[in-house]
Structure 1
């Protein structure tokens, strides 16, 4: 899978076909997690990045629902995971490809 972040955020499957990412918030979430490059992003940080000074009344549930929608949209090519961290919940996006890159980078250190 390939994600393009310059211009309109777009995703493409391994077959090269575009994956339809509907809605600005969903594209924003995809971009934010892709930019984190396999590192966890705190839920509070995501809320700030996606909604700014005007978050929804129940930002925790809204962000969780958005992550669910992204998981469903991307299917099995990418994993969007949640993890409990000391300061709350965080999300990260991971692929088999990126895990190989991280493993190789760690091996060269």
Structure 2
């Protein structure tokens, strides 16, 4: 798993490349914790390079939902492959997380 960080205005962006599973979820968890230390309004997860997500990977994202909501930080995931998006939809996570097709849509969502 490779993670690149970008800050764009009040958005903190995690660019994920590879597989988000039990062996890499702690790294993503640390990056989200670091994001929560910053004065941000949005946390965007760029999933364009995400090839696979396991239940452990999903758990990392889900575990931060309460904190993000309490701090009024919106979580937006974008650029998912059909395979990864299908996992979110099968579990109903698209009902509690904002998933958009592209970064452009994430920007529009933030307005």
Q: Give the TM-score of the pair, scaled to structure 1.
A: 0.30
Q: Give the TM-score of the pair, scaled to structure 2.
A: 0.30
Greater Rg, structure 1 or structure 2? 1
| Greater share of helix | 1
